[in-house]
């Protein structure tokens, strides 16, 4: 279903579901839950009981993921993402005016935080060089050594 402003509700729900599952495994879960509570409360037909029910479903998913064995998390994450897609899709069907706010939250949550990312501390590194890359690095058969004469 596409809204008047061009948002496909199921695409918004899918993006938000993926972000929620990712946040469930991180310290950012509390802020994600608070954001979802605000979004659920702003839903046009949202009464307190329905908001609490939506939050209970999120809390249950969070608990299931964090209580699962590490070896099961990848598969469970995929299942939870599908369950949350259904939950958020149903919520947006009833409250389509919440789609822009949910999309904005998901888009912002996908952005890397200023403090997140790779941090490297290199000490006592005489006679070698350090390569830091944000993605995969392939050198093939090439061996890179320290430039001659520099130490």
Query: Per-residue pLDDT for 145 more than 60?
Result: no
> Whose structure tokens read 């209580």?
67
Query: Per-residue pLDDT for 101 more than 70?
Result: yes
Q: What is the per-residue pLDDT for 64? A: 94
- Helix 99-110 and helix 29-42, axial crossing angle in degrees, nearest 10: 170
**What's the token pair of residue 67?**
């209580």
Please tell me the distance from the alpha carbon of residue 89 to that of residue 10, in angstroms, as a whole number.
6
Instruction: Read off the pTM.
Output: 0.66
Burial of residue 43 (CB within 10 Å: 0-12, 13-18, 19+) is buried
Residue-range domain boundaries for the chain: 9-110
Q: 3-22, pLDDT tens digit by residue? A: 545 568 899 999 999 999 98
Determine the average pLDDT of the residues in 116-122. Answer: 50
Please tell me the distance from the alpha carbon of residue 20 to that of residue 34, in angstroms, as a whole number.
12
């Amino acid at each position: 279903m596409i809204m008047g402003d061009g948002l496909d509700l199921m695409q918004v729900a899918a993006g938000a579901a993926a972000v929620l599952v990712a946040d469930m495994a991180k310290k950012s879960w509390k802020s994600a839950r608070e954001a979802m509570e605000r979004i659920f409360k702003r839903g046009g037909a949202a009464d307190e009981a329905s908001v609490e029910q939506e939050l209970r479903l999120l809390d249950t998913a969070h608990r299931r993921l964090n209580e699962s064995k590490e070896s099961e998390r990848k598969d469970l994450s995929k299942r939870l993402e599908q369950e949350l897609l259904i939950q958020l899709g149903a919520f947006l069907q009833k409250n389509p005016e919440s789609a822009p706010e949910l999309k904005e939250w998901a888009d912002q949550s996908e952005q890397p935080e200023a403090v997140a990312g790779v941090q490297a501390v290199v000490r006592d590194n005489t006679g070698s060089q350090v390569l830091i890359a944000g993605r995969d690095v392939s050198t093939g058969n090439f061996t890179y050594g320290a430039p001659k004469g520099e130490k």
